[in-house]
A and B are shown apart, each in its own frame.
Chain A
């Protein structure tokens, strides 16, 4: 931050654009180097080859190429970005930014060219499994080394330019272009869902022309779509915001009516839409629902009460195993073969007890110790289910199979009919959302949020922190156990290895990316992450990502924590808290302006050279 301040300060002070400073050179070098590193790493991880089969725009662009091409674009954009600070005049972006972007791209492209040469001349296949002829073929477009190297340099420079141009072109144009780009990408990514939906409505002819036979948009249609989306974006400019503001401005009964209409239409959509979707899409929706249920539970524990529970999967396991033992005829020790509805009551009780038992020893620990201990509990529970010791009760590593579906009298909900599973999950999700929503504003919810911010102060305000935290554990456990119960009924079997720590962490990523402490955020997080990338075992829309999704989850978690800890859809209160410092800084800077004049006057009066006024104020 301080570097930007000084660089923009110095160039603004001169009145004209100074030549590129050393600082800017080093910035270009840094991001260019990062660009090379990222390109090589992505290539060596095997993304280009592994994702090449997924075509986005028919003969032109595959997901494999996209996995590389976004890098120079983003780096070009980052290198030419200026952080705008209140009270500091930032220079008008222009040719210098474009130059920086192009140079960053050039470094990236040159690195790629060197990499291609190395691929051609050395064989490092032994430790590096993806150092393969296929990669070389892909990177050179199968047209020889020289062509490939030149093409990469050119492409990267171009993309770097485009990336930096984002800051240079007027805001309106930027908006339209980015809308049509992301819209196009959405169309390409959602190909499966869209063609499935249109098939359901009997509109195959439309998608058949939009999408090529081997998958991916056709070139003609992608241009048409881009123009269409751009046009729509231009027409609706500002309308959406205005509509939102109108809605926000509504008062009393009118607002109630409006939100009721909104709610009913959304509910109708979620009920009707699956009828027109095929098996695969319904399966996907059911998985999203299961993870949404888990995420809603974790949102209460982490998002509201601020307890980082890394062993959340334990409750999922308890729900799953309880259901399996009570309903399956193959349960090895005790097989009452109860009905799902009866089981559910027992599951709730059990999950609550386990929540208390795990919660009680840990709630007084420091937050970070608690995280590791709960992680330990999650792992202990999985190891116990897997051990020979409890094999007579839970079937060991073979688990319990033959779990019947949910018999509702007129229909049996089973994994073979994902649509019915989706409706079952929907019921639970609706319940969970209702519970979360009611709890949020309740006395208990406010107590949780107070504890999240400062436990000592919360206690001083008369909140019984021990009880409140235990309750958070219990509510979270019950929601997770619902998810476990439905999952077992859906899959028809239960194995200890479905309850790896991985599941906890993926749910944590969903909650954090979506927006901790916000129901809408959790909804968005589940749909975007589980829907597109997929769960720990469940494939998403981009099922080619299967072997890379954990990598992406990890990177996303780091990125979100560094850049946007409040998530995609932030809860208003939480983002205020997270950005408190920036807020204070803004206030301070505004105050500074007034002080500055006095300060300068003082300095002039003193005329004492050498003593530089507060140098360390930036840190």
Chain B
């Protein structure tokens, strides 16, 4: 709309259509150069993926296949169980990314900026979980009454993460609400740096290990031919329950209605009698709570946490939010799960058959590539973004 108006303005001021036409032709030519390059990148990436998958299929059909041998002479392929195992760890990690992504998505939907420090909120939850579970294991409660201590550490983690998120909003973001969107983003980078290093200073730089999980939880179980560790099952379960709770909160309660209204248009929401400030705080709090739960799940799944734990999962969760369409809550969850699976499967299914050695090192690179891919092909995400009226314009 704005573009059209200003084009008209140029037309008017130039007093002739020739100049406008030249500008248009010129910019069309220039843009197409970049477009051609982008098309090239798109074609290249798609070819890479297709060839990789074809080579993988060839490898699965018969490892002796010349096509499979073409890039990777020692191709062996994956067994069905290996593949299922990869899928399961991808899913459980993805569920965690999804939970973190909810926070990014909600904040972006409401305030229109990326809260880069949201990964630190997640880290705060994981750290709280470690401290509490370590104390529990020292007193023996962790072993004797695991479920109760798990419930307590989840509640503690939710409290600390929520508090972190709310404080962040109050101190760093509220004064910047009207500024251009890059300003709060830069601020959030500073917040992220500060929290990381403050946690390192206070709790030390060493890697902290969660206490051993009870045998009955961590043992392998088989469900519908899928062999899955009980921990991963628990992670999936908790993630599903939290997502259900969040859905209920957002779609069925008055608070949720207020959140959606504020996300749509702050000013009009305020005119309707909604306390915008409180709703924004609620949004941060809910996002923080989800990140806190994800923190505990991380602790159960990987059993180790450091002050840097929040950095990569944070960026990946943002990727997940973009994949699902930012502002779109079910999208964030599905985006998380797809990203987790892609990250876990793609190195072995696409890169290994292409003869890339040491593929597990490239897991993070795959996640970033997914981000670039999504933004190149479908910037609004797989399920469409839901932004405020102002951001859509």
Residues on A facing B (Cβ under 8 Å): 41, 44-47, 126-130, 306, 308, 310, 360-361, 363-365, 367-369, 371-373, 375-377, 379-380, 383-384, 386-389, 391, 456-457, 459-460, 462, 464, 466-467, 470, 505, 508-509, 512, 547-548, 550-551, 553-558, 561-562, 565, 581
Contacts and interface: CB of A to CB of B under 8 A. Distances in A.
B3 A562 contact: no
Nearest to A365: B375
A367 B182 contact: yes
Contacts of A45: 198, 201-202
B372 interface: yes
22 contacts: A41-B198, A126-B134, A127-B131, A128-B202, A368-B113, A369-B322, A371-B185, A372-B318, A373-B371, A379-B315, A380-B365, A387-B362, A388-B357, A388-B358, A456-B2, A460-B7, A509-B190, A551-B197, A555-B190, A557-B190, A557-B193, A557-B194
Given A460-B7, A464-B27, A548-B197, A379 B358 contact: no
Given A360-B38, A373-B375, A389-B362, A562 B197 contact: no
Contacts of B172: 558, 561-562
Given A375-B315, A380-B369, A550 B197 contact: yes
Contacts of A373: 371-372, 375
B67 interface: no
A299 to B, nearest CB: 14
Contacts of A557: 186-187, 189-190, 193-194
Given A360-B38, A389-B358, A550-B197, A561 B368 contact: no
Given A387-B358, A508-B186, A554-B192, A376 B371 contact: yes
Interface stretch (B29-37, B48-56, B328-336): B29-37
Contacts of A562: 172, 175-176, 187
Given A361-B372, A379-B365, 7 more contacts: A45-B198, A308-B186, A364-B34, A391-B358, A460-B7, A509-B190, A561-B190
A456 B3 contact: yes
Contacts of A512: 186
A383 B361 contact: yes
Contact of B203 (A128, A377, A456, A508): A128
A554 B190 contact: yes
A128 B322 CA distance: 37
A281 to B, nearest CB: 27
B196 to A, nearest CB: 7
Instruction: Give chain A's interface secondary structure class.
Output: helix
Nearest to B131: A127
B274 interface: no
Contacts of A308: 182, 185-186
B191 interface: yes
Contacts of B185: 308, 368, 371
B22 to A, nearest CB: 10
Q: How large is the interface on B (under 10, 10 to 19, 20 to 34, 35 or more residues)?
A: 35 or more
A570 to B, nearest CB: 15
Nearest to B128: A127
A334 to B, nearest CB: 19
A369 B380 CA distance: 11
Contacts of A364: 34
Given A130-B201, A368-B113, A456-B2, A389 B357 contact: yes
**9 cross-chain pairs, A with B, having the tightest CB-CB distances, nearest first:** A557-B190, A388-B358, A554-B193, A460-B6, A45-B201, A554-B194, A376-B368, A551-B197, A129-B204
Contacts of A363: 34
B362 A551 contact: no
A554 B27 contact: no
A556 B190 contact: yes
Contacts of A375: 315
B181 A367 contact: yes
A44 B201 contact: yes
A47 B202 CA distance: 10
A462 B30 CA distance: 13
A555 B319 CA distance: 26
B376 interface: yes
Contacts of B198: 41, 45, 551
A340 B275 CA distance: 63
B249 interface: no
A384 B176 CA distance: 37
Contacts of B113: 368
A460 B14 CA distance: 12
B111 to A, nearest CB: 11
Contacts of B203: 127-129
B240 interface: no
Contact of A457 (B6, B192, B322): B6
Chain A CB within 10 Å, residue with most, of B9, B187, B365? B365
B190 A558 contact: yes
B265 interface: no
A557 B202 CA distance: 21
Contacts of B376: 361
A561 B183 contact: yes
B211 interface: no
A47 B371 CA distance: 39
A554 B37 CA distance: 37
Contacts of B182: 306, 308, 367-368, 371
B156 interface: no
B219 interface: no
A360 B191 CA distance: 30
A124 B19 CA distance: 74
B230 interface: no
Contacts of A548: 197, 201
A555 B362 contact: no
A462 B201 CA distance: 52
B291 interface: no
Contacts of B135: 126
A373 B315 CA distance: 10
A111 B368 CA distance: 46
Given A45-B202, A380-B365, A460 B186 contact: no
A141 B204 CA distance: 25
A51 to B, nearest CB: 12
A45 B365 CA distance: 33
Nearest to B193: A554
A236 to B, nearest CB: 36
A161 to B, nearest CB: 26
Nearest to A46: B201
Interface in B90-148: 113-114, 131, 134-135
Contacts of A386: 361
Given A369-B379, A383-B364, A508-B186, A554 B6 contact: no
